[in-house]
């Protein structure tokens, strides 16, 4: 039992450094050579103690990736699902994203591309404008709506 307490203390410190999800804790525990049975007990203890909270993780993850890396909702949802976060927690996390700021990010990406992209072929032009935003995980319908609005405003 002494070994279990050491392992638990080590993972407590690791979880205290930044927000973690259950999958990350299990992977880290495995990399430390902790048995899967002990890892399950440790995860349960860390969850009970409040070191692990999936909803809190989803909120911080979504907000951080949106603000720092300018990721769109689709990319964030995909990454959270890859970490096996529950759908309710994902919805809570995504709700942290401000709609006006979200749209503003798309507008900035598209405006930057308008300035450096050839206008001669309209279909190719629209594709080149939308590609970077869609690759970052923004919804194609919303990106295309922003492109249409900007093209009308700029008379393209």
If asked whether residues 80 and 113 sit together in one domain, one would say: no
Rounded CA-CA distance 42/65 in Å is 28
The structure tokens listed for 125 are 């032009």
Mark whether 36 and 70 lie in a shared domain: no
Alpha-carbon gap, residue 135 to 133, rounded angstroms:
5
Which among 64, 69, 150, 67 is positioned nearest to 107, based on CA atoms?
150
Half-sphere exposure of 77 (CA within 13 A, CB side): 13
Residue 4, pLDDT score: 87
Residues 108 and 87 in one domain: no
pLDDT at 122: 85
Distance (Å, whole) CA 91 – CA 143: 21
Counted domains in the chain: 3
Same domain, 30 and 59: no
Which domain does 149 fall in, by range?
Answer: 99-154
Q: HSE-up of 61 (CA within 13 Å, CB side)?
A: 26
> What pLDDT sits at residue 8?
92
**Residue pair 51/15 in contact by the 8 Å Cβ criterion:** yes
Residues 9 and 35 in one domain: yes
Does one domain contain both 79 and 112? no
Q: Coil, strand or helix: which one is 131?
A: helix
**Same domain membership, residue 103 and residue 137:** yes
Please enumerate in sequence order all residues whose Cβ is within 8 A of that of 101, keeping only pairs 6 or more positions apart, or say none. Answer: 66
Low-confidence ranges of the chain (pLDDT < 50): none
Residue 115 is predicted with a pLDDT of 83
What pLDDT is recorded for position 1? 62
């Amino acid at each position: 039992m002494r070994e279990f307490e050491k392992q638990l203390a080590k993972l407590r410190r690791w979880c205290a450094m930044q927000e973690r999800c259950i999958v990350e804790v299990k992977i880290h525990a495995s990399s430390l050579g902790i048995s899967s049975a002990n890892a399950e007990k440790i995860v349960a203890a860390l969850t009970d103690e409040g070191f692990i909270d999936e909803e809190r993780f989803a909120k911080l993850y979504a907000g951080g990736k949106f603000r720092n890396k300018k990721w769109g909702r689709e990319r964030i949802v995909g990454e959270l699902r890859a970490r096996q976060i529950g759908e309710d927690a994902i919805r809570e996390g995504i709700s942290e994203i401000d709609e006006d700021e979200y749209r503003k990010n798309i507008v900035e990406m598209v405006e930057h591309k308008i300035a450096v992209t050839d206008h001669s072929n309209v279909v190719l032009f629209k594709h080149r404008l939308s590609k970077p935003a869609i690759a970052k995980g923004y919804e194609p319908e919303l990106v295309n709506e922003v492109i249409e609005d900007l093209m009308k405003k700029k008379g393209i």
